[in-house]
Amino acid sequence: MSLIEAMVWIALTTAIMLALVSSLLYFYRTNTYAIQEANAIASGQRGIDLMVRTLREMSYSATGGYPILAIGTTTITFYADINANSSIEKVTYRLQGKSLLQDIVEPTGNPVLYVATTTTALVSDYIHNTDQNTSVFTYYDKNGTQINDYTKTADVRFISVSLVVDVDTQHLPSQLILRSSATPRNLVGH
């Protein structure tokens, strides 16, 4: 093999390697957003599933307090046994910026009080309800009428949950709206 033939083989091999590396880099650059969007949607689905399961388990507090403490378009505070330890915790779901958070207060003392340290956990991120002017929580009474007076917590019988999920509002695909609902078991018939 002559020097010219060797140079041609080296040039050809280098060109093929560069083409392969460039193709792989292009693939990862173009699909990074799709992977991030898929992860955000999966996070939203897990979050909405967790919230709906917890909302269904709503119950009277360890002190005998009504199951629902406060409601709003982006927050709800209620009592539920979320970890199957037979104690009823105070739970708050709230939207803070683009993050949906869960606050939990364990009951302590005798008599029982809900004054212990709040444990906060991230439920979902990349939530754009505020940007889209969409309520996270919508409440309905026993007749199926939407509740707009958030002081009427005793009238709540059905809760609809909507999460607007999007990694970046500047890129397609546009946001995805995840919806689910819950009928709190311990409020039915009251």
- Within a domain: residue 155? yes
3-state secondary structure of 55: helix
Q: What's the confidence (pLDDT) of residue 29? A: 79
Q: Is residue 93 packed enough to be buried (19+ CB in 10 Å), middle (13-18) or exposed (0-12)?
A: buried
Q: Is the preceding peptide bond at 173 cis, omega within 30 degrees of 0?
A: yes
Please tell me whether the peptide bond between 107 and the residue prior to it is cis, using omega within 30 degrees of 0.
no
- Site of tokens 């010219």: 4
- Domain residues for the domain of 163 are 38-187
Q: Does the residue 7 lie in any domain?
A: no
Residue with the bigger pLDDT between 1 and 55: it is 55
What mean pLDDT comes out for the span 180-188?
Answer: 83
Residues contacting 170, CB < 8 A, separation 6+: none
Q: For residue 65, what pLDDT is reported? A: 85
Number of domains making up the chain? 1
Structural domain includes residue 107: yes
In this prediction, residue 175 carries a pLDDT of 81
Would 31 be classed as within a structural domain?
A: no
The yes-or-no verdict on residue 188 having pLDDT over 70 is no
What is the model's pLDDT at position 27?
Answer: 83
Instruction: Tell me which of 59-68, 123-132, 171-180 is least confident.
Output: 171-180
In a domain, 108, yes or no: yes
Q: State the Cα–Cα distance between residues 45 and 43, nearest whole angstrom.
A: 5
In a domain, 19, yes or no: no
Which of 32-46, 67-81, 104-118, 125-139 has the largest mean confidence? 67-81
* Cα gap 161→86, rounded to integer Å: 26
Average pLDDT over residues 168-186: 81
Does 18 map to a domain? no
Structural contact between residues 184 and 55, judged by C-beta atoms closer than 8 angstroms = yes
Phi and psi at 181, nearest 5°, equal -150, 165
* Residue appearing with tokens 């995805």: 176
Percent of the chain with pLDDT over 70: 95
pTM of the model: 0.80
Q: Considering the domain boundaries, does residue 23 fall inside one?
A: no
